[in-house]
Amino acid sequence: MDKNAIHTVAFSPDDRLVRSASSANVKVWDTTDSSVRYRLLMEQSCPVVSISPDGKLLAVQYWKHVEIYDSITGNLLKTIYQHSPWVSPYVKSTRFLPDCSSIAIALDASLDLWDLSPEFEQVTGSELDRVSGVTISRDGTFGASSSLDFNTTVKIWDTAKEVVIHDLIVEPGRVQGLRLSPDERLLLSLAGDGSLMLWDTGTGRKACTLRPQCQSGSLLAFMEAIIFSPDSQILSSSWVDLEPERPKELPIYLWNTNTGELIHVLQYPLELECRPVVFSPDGKIVATAARSHNGGDSRVLLWCTESGSLIYDVENKGSFPWLEFSADGKILAYAVEHGVELCHLG
């Protein structure tokens, strides 16, 4: 059990380990007997933790630096960057490359590639404007960034040549977030008015704009609910209709990314707010965590993506749990009040 609320969970590639991160520590659990392999004490609250594709390395992302651990022993191997707490740059995101040879790290002013050999040397570094959002391709060959300076431009970068491939104009308002589809064919940008735009990463052309009808005309979207299915064919999204008197939570929408057409509207009690959202590996199930606007306990909900019907609804102690499917889709892990629950889907 963890005395601190757990905010993220994730499986290792072979599903034998699951890691949980709270505001105070990261724990790595054995899924066969639910034992704790080891625990890492965190020096800052709410770090972002990721596991390399081969399951051998663990990256812990803080505001100012990244720590690389041996995921089997828990030994610290390398600390990348060691900036003053009061000086930029900030670490925006990290991603292991598929062959596990390098890790791409996006800062607020550069996109760097670090070799994961024992020397841990920096391979490349692309200078960026002050960024509000950044995303990196799986192999680290290209990335996309948006600016903090109320700029409506998104830049797609060739990280090897350190040049801009495409400038994308996103209007209206400053870009609020970016996300690449799993096949990296599409780049999603969240505009200031809540509109979602899909861009072709090869040509730089806008494929479509996604936006539900709302009474107020003003929407607030949440990046943790804007998720591509594993095959990149479906996009989930969630908004709040910012009505002047009382903002209203809208249902979860599933969109066809090829046509921009609405596939399903996943209804749930409107007194609940649903975030985050995650797809099963085969894309047949979409899961989300929901809680009352008044706080208190939450619920875990699962829908069938083909029919849009609710197939699973269970109460959960604590606030929003983070959800994660195992690689074979047979287990759903989610954070409970002071631990991790494993739900076997059969």
Taking only the tens of pLDDT, the chain with its 346 residues reads 455 666 677 777 788 877 777 766 788 888 888 788 888 876 666 677 888 888 888 888 887 888 999 988 889 998 887 655 555 567 877 888 878 888 888 777 677 778 888 776 666 555 555 666 778 888 778 888 887 655 567 889 887 777 888 988 877 667 888 899 999 999 999 887 888 999 999 999 999 999 887 766 678 887 888 999 999 999 999 888 877 677 777 889 999 999 999 999 998 765 667 667 899 999 999 998 877 666 666 788 899 999 999 998 887 665 556 788 988 899 888 777 667 778 888 6
CA distance 225 to 275: 6
Q: Which residues lie closer than 8 Å to 10 by C-beta, 6 or more apart?
A: 18, 19, 49, 50, 51, 324
Query: Is residue 22 classed exposed, middle or buried when 0-12, 13-18 and 19+ CB atoms within 10 A define those classes?
Result: buried
What Rg, from alpha-carbon coordinates, does the chain have?
Answer: 20
CB 158 within 8 A of CB 165: yes
Burial state string for 95-123 with b = 16 or more CB within 10 A and e = fewer than 16 = bbbeeeebbbbbbbbbbbbbebeeeeeee
**Which residue ranges form the domains of the chain, and what is each CATH number?**
1-87 (2.40.10.480), 104-211 (2.130.10.10), 220-346 (2.130.10.10)
Look at the pTM and tell me if it is higher than 0.75: yes
Place of tokens 């903002």: 247
**Pairing mode, strands 102-107 and 91-96:** antiparallel
